Copies of this chain bind each other. A is one copy, B any other.
């Protein structure tokens, strides 16, 4: 069985924990594959690396453990307690492979919550240390391949990202100890340098810098991002095309999200929230031509725990300019929605890597709120891009 190394940035968080618990529970045949896109047609026609062969490790800046996050989630009606119990030994083994991370330039809201973090003399040493940690994991765990996945808290948007538009500008910034490069980009840089595929499941900067995209192309390493499309935005990308194709003109689309997990707490900080909001509201602008009132709110409501409620109010006009409306609520567990997509992305990016597909991976657009390099936001057409990819490889894998 192919062994796939999975290096999770934010390994103690809810999404990472749920992904690891789920992967081990699937391996133990404790649960089915509900929620996994790769478990069904069309993706199951590809020869994807088995989830059973995933070997987990990662970084985190919190002092908790995967086990205790898992228990906390099971108390909040997210993961069934018997499943946590069934994989608890696995989680303890994984814990030994989770290293202390760094939180450089992650914004005050995250930095204030850092419980442990390494600090090297300069950026250059930080990158060297990350590379060394990736390499050590690959060797010790004897994995065939390593995928680095960012599922840590949202950083504030980077101002003037254009200054890192070339590989050399990034290299120079690292050499010059430029303290503006955020942690997410350093993790990505270290990964790409040594040919490890990189997935950015968050709105953070990651590998979205021009210089890192160029590096990925040069090294022919697949990478993709950003910001996993799990709930309200997923619905927007499914519903907005209906309005557009039926010539029903949207006048206002108000989205109000309340959530109670750590992600919500970080987004209380306006700087960190900015990136998220841009990513959430951009989808509609990408589908609807008309001018309309487009607002997204994200509020932290502690009693909801890991659960998230989105309420959207959509006003539109149709024939004879008659005003009409639609409202919806979506209530799901953030981690439960995100975790299977993380596992899907790992399997699919390994497939791309195995077939020499470097650079951005547009066939993965349906997984992201802001798919890098893809203008298409219509969910159905994004799914079509994935199907086309599968069709292209059908017969080749065998």
A interface residue numbers (CB < 8 A to B): 18, 21-22, 25, 31-37, 39-40, 77-81, 83, 234-235, 238-239, 241-242, 245-249, 251-252, 254, 256, 258, 292-293, 295, 297, 299, 301-304, 309, 311, 313, 315, 317-333, 336-337, 339-340, 366, 378-381, 383
* Complex interface: chain B residues within 8 A of A83 (CB): 320
Q: Say how far A236's CB is from chain B's closest CB, in angstroms.
A: 11
Chain B residues within 8 Å of A31, by CB: 320-321
Q: Does B380 contact A313, Cβ atoms closer than 8 Å?
A: no
Of all chain B residues, the one with the shortest Cβ separation from A318 is B35
Indicate which residue in B318, B333, B366 contacts A324 across the interface (CB closer than 8 Å).
Answer: B333
How many copies are assembled?
4
The secondary structure that dominates the A interface is mixed
Contact pick for A36, options B36, B39, B319, B328, CB 8 Å: B319
Please report the C-alpha to C-alpha distance between residue A245 and residue B341 in the assembled complex, in whole angstroms.
Answer: 12
**B247 A380 Cβ-Cβ under 8 A:** no
Q: Which residues of B contact A380 (CB under 8 A)?
A: 241, 378-381
Given contacts A242-B234, A319-B336, A321-B32, are A301 and B252 in contact (CB under 8 A)? yes
Bound-complex Cα distance A245 to B295 (A): 27
| B325 engages A326 (CB within 8 Å) | no
- What 10 A-B pairs have minimum CB-CB distances, sorted nearest first? A380-B380, A35-B319, A35-B318, A328-B328, A251-B303, A324-B332, A238-B242, A319-B340, A322-B336, A252-B303
| Alpha-carbon distance between A104 and B80 when the two chains are bound, in angstroms | 42
Query: Are A302 and B77 also in contact (CB < 8 A) when A31-B320, A32-B321, A319-B22 are?
Result: no
Residue in B245, B252, B320 whose CB lies within 8 Å of A383 = B245
Check if A234 sits within 8 Å of B251, measured CB to CB.
no
27 A-B residue pairs with Cβ-Cβ distance under 8 Å, sorted by A, are A21-B320, A32-B321, A33-B247, A34-B247, A34-B321, A35-B247, A36-B247, A36-B319, A37-B247, A78-B322, A80-B320, A80-B322, A235-B239, A238-B241, A254-B258, A256-B256, A258-B313, A295-B301, A297-B299, A303-B315, A311-B311, A311-B327, A319-B336, A319-B339, A324-B332, A326-B328, A326-B329
